[in-house]
A and B are shown apart, each in its own frame.
Chain A
Amino acid sequence: MPIASAHPLLSVAALVAGYGRPVVGPVDFTLARGEVLGLAGPNGSGKSTLLSVLAGAGRRFAGSVDLAPGVEISWQTQRQPAVAGIPLNGRELLALTGASAAGLPPWLAARLDERLDRLSGGQLQFLHLWACLQAPADVILLDEPTNNLDPQGVAALGAAIAARAAAGAGIVLVSHDDDFVAAACQRVVRLPGGPRP
């Protein structure tokens, strides 16, 4: 469904989020189509928790999360699924989320027909990221996407994020890597402090 670009894809207002108890908030921001928004802050400040609430997994204690009608979310978490002994190859993984292989960096495109358990940790991480990033979705949530990536992978990820945003997606990115956040994001919401007492 086409969504008017004048309206934000995602609006977060006075959001207090957590699991058993509040971990982060109140937080306010909006996300527009084509925008890359960074969530930054020290460990324990609730960046990943906030993403999980946006994806409908965590608990909202106060405030609101509003999605424009018809918006689809794609969410990459830090959890790495077990791949050892599972005979699934890269092409099949991309097909699961509906992601296209077009535009994959050559160093990974050449290995698409290999099983996931034959890829290196960095190649597997990038493939998982690609499957989420290129899945049909309007809002893409990325949680610490640079984990396990070498400088070549980080550079390719930055380019892929920029291209996906240019194609019309809104992206929320959580990372402890301030340099990457500064390079990849047009706007940064900084979450205060560490874990709540």
Chain B
Amino acid sequence: MNLELLSDPLFLWPCLTGLVFALLLPLCGAYLRLRGEWLAALSYAQMAAAGSLSAAALALPLVLGGPAAAFLAAAVKNAFEEAAEATRGAAYAMLLLAGWGTAVLLAANLPLAERLGHALFDGQLYFTDRSHFLAALGAFAVAVPLLRWLSRPLLLSHFYPDFYRARGRSSRRLHLAFDLVVAGVLALATTSVGVMAAFALVFIPPLAAAPWARSWRAALWLGALLGGLAHLLAFALALVLDQPFGPVLALLLVLLGAASALLARGFPRIAA
């Protein structure tokens, strides 16, 4: 295969769809990292995969199954947090295992689910089409303004956890809104780029950007830029080398994260 294929609509829509998520997921990841909730990303992605496979098994639209399962995961996580702060990490682990168990059992027993399962777990972006791209654009248009609105409360919760309580207000609904935004974005991303590629885009670009940014705003821009560039490079590499997209992107991002950490340690004066 060669790069001329990029002009083929068969590959153009997947490339553009992945690019939109590669710009958006690092923004979600920056706030998940701030909250120490990066594992939530993996559990939402895994639950979205299980939801998509369940939808396939029930002959329902996949685009509904993934987000429905991810929203359910966000609601369950919030219920756990209300019950006891100490169970926060346990909720992610249980959701992750529930999603994985459901997905693997469905894939093992239903031929249609097995094919879809391979696409979701291998990260075969090439199955996406124009409808996925439009869904990605819609997610971007909704999520970016919401994240901008939620940014101050999320940062306040980290630096001044009692800011709202001292003013007689609760920030719980704002946190639920953030969980739902992340769950929705991850669900759509998972059905397009696959579970682990979506997780890698959430986790690594903000991590790689952090040492080099002099402000929160700069870190968000840099994270999105790194995500977008990594996606384009991974897409081209996967196409040229005829490899599944998800693992290529994940490995590229791991190299990026490791290089960023080593450079920041080796050249601390250059780091922000």
Q: Number of A residues contacting the other chain (C-beta, 8 Å)?
A: 29
If A87-B218, A87-B219 touch, does A97 touch B210 (CB 8 Å cutoff)? Answer: no
A75 at the interface (CB under 8 A from B): yes
Count of A-B contacts judged by CB separation below 8 Å: 71
How far, in whole Å, are A85 and B272 apart by their CA atoms in the complex?
A: 11
B163 at the interface (CB under 8 A from A): yes
Which residues of chain A are near B209, meaning CB under 8 Å? 87
Is the pair B214, A56 in contact by a Cβ cutoff of 8 Å? no
Which residues of chain A are near B217, meaning CB under 8 Å? 92
How far, in whole Å, are A97 and B155 apart by their CA atoms in the complex?
A: 10
How far, in whole Å, are A13 and B160 apart by their CA atoms in the complex?
A: 28
B173 at the interface (CB under 8 A from A): no
Choose among B155, B160, B162, B166 the residue with the greatest number of A CB atoms under 10 Å from its CB. Answer: B166
Residue of B nearest to A98 (CB): B152
Is the pair B160, A97 in contact by a Cβ cutoff of 8 Å? yes
A113 at the interface (CB under 8 A from B): yes
Which residues of chain A are near B161, meaning CB under 8 Å? 79, 81
Which residues of chain A are near B218, meaning CB under 8 Å? 87
A88 at the interface (CB under 8 A from B): yes
Is the pair A75, B152 in contact by a Cβ cutoff of 8 Å? no
A74 at the interface (CB under 8 A from B): yes
Residue of B nearest to A140 (CB): B166
Mostly helix, strand, loop or mixed at chain B's interface?
Answer: helix
Cross-interface CB contact of A96 among B155, B167, B219, cutoff 8 Å: B155
Q: Enumerate A87-140 residues with CB–CB distance to B below 8 Å.
A: 87-89, 91-93, 96-97, 113-115, 118, 128, 131-132
A57 at the interface (CB under 8 A from B): yes
Q: Separation in Å of the A47 CB from the closest CB of chain B?
A: 16
B159 at the interface (CB under 8 A from A): yes
B165 at the interface (CB under 8 A from A): yes
How far, in whole Å, are A96 and B241 apart by their CA atoms in the complex?
A: 47
B34 at the interface (CB under 8 A from A): yes
How far, in whole Å, are A85 and B264 apart by their CA atoms in the complex?
A: 11
Is the pair A56, B165 in contact by a Cβ cutoff of 8 Å? yes
How far, in whole Å, are A115 and B212 apart by their CA atoms in the complex?
A: 11
How far, in whole Å, are A56 and B164 apart by their CA atoms in the complex?
A: 10
Interface string of B150-184 (1 = CB under 8 A from A): 00100110111111011110000000000000000
A66 at the interface (CB under 8 A from B): no
A55 at the interface (CB under 8 A from B): yes
B-side residues, CB < 8 A to A, are 34, 152, 155-156, 158-163, 165-168, 209-211, 213-219, 272
13 A–B contacts from the bound complex (CB under 8 Å): A55-B165, A72-B167, A74-B166, A75-B162, A81-B159, A82-B158, A86-B216, A87-B218, A89-B216, A91-B215, A92-B215, A97-B163, A115-B215
A-side residues, CB < 8 A to B, are 55-57, 72-75, 77, 79, 81-82, 85-89, 91-93, 96-97, 113-115, 118, 128, 131-132, 141
